[in-house]
Homo-oligomer: A and B are copies of this chain.
Amino acid sequence: MDVSYEQVVDILKSERVEIEDIAKLAYDLQKPYIPDLTLKEAIDSVKCVLSKREVMNAIMVGAELDSSARENRMKNKTLQAIIEEDAGLFGVDEIVALSICNVYGSIALTNFGYIDKIKPGIIGVLNGDQSRCNVFMDDIVGAIAASAASRLAHRH
């Protein structure tokens, strides 16, 4: 069994994330280095990242864990509590996100670290939303944006 691109886009939508939101992050990361970069190119780069199996699997796992915590479906109540309070030292969220960046080389990794600290655009929105748990999704979105930006850097 394999996940489809459409399913992954639907998962992102249900997590309130649009491809354009991620593309804007990638665009802002890369614009200083590629002056004639267009948002359209950033969107295409995000779509390309989203079509990789490793990336799709990471998105599914992150979304499952977030929704499981959100709906109080976790069996392990300690894990449930750690994810609910978004403990800064949890680490597994970044690990899953970094597996996306790894595929796109060291620029993706440093871009991710930067974006994870600055929390621009949709990442800030996800991170600041106190009403629902987004522990994995904000890191995953950052990793996709960082990877799409790295892809643009390597292609230009």
List A residues at the B interface (Cβ < 8 Å). 1-3, 7, 11, 33, 53-54, 57-58, 60-61, 63-65, 67-68, 71, 73-76, 78-79, 81-82, 85, 87-92, 94-96, 98-99, 102-103, 105-107, 109-118, 153-154
CB contacts (< 8 Å) of A54 on chain B: these are 91, 105-106
CB contacts (< 8 Å) of A110 on chain B: these are 94, 112-113, 116-117
- The quantity of this chain's copies bound in the complex is 4
Q: A91-B53, A91-B105 are in contact. Are A85 and B1 (CB under 8 A)?
A: yes
Q: Is the CB of B92 within 8 A of A58?
A: yes
Look across to chain B and name the residue whose beta carbon is closest to the beta carbon of A73.
B73
CB contacts (< 8 Å) of A111 on chain B: these are 113, 117
CB contacts (< 8 Å) of A53 on chain B: these are 89, 91, 154
CB contacts (< 8 Å) of A113 on chain B: these are 109-117
Subset of 26 A-B contacts with CB under 8 Å: A1-B78, A3-B78, A3-B79, A57-B82, A57-B92, A58-B95, A60-B79, A60-B82, A61-B79, A61-B92, A64-B65, A64-B68, A64-B76, A64-B79, A65-B65, A71-B75, A88-B107, A89-B153, A92-B99, A94-B107, A95-B106, A102-B103, A102-B105, A111-B117, A113-B114, A114-B116
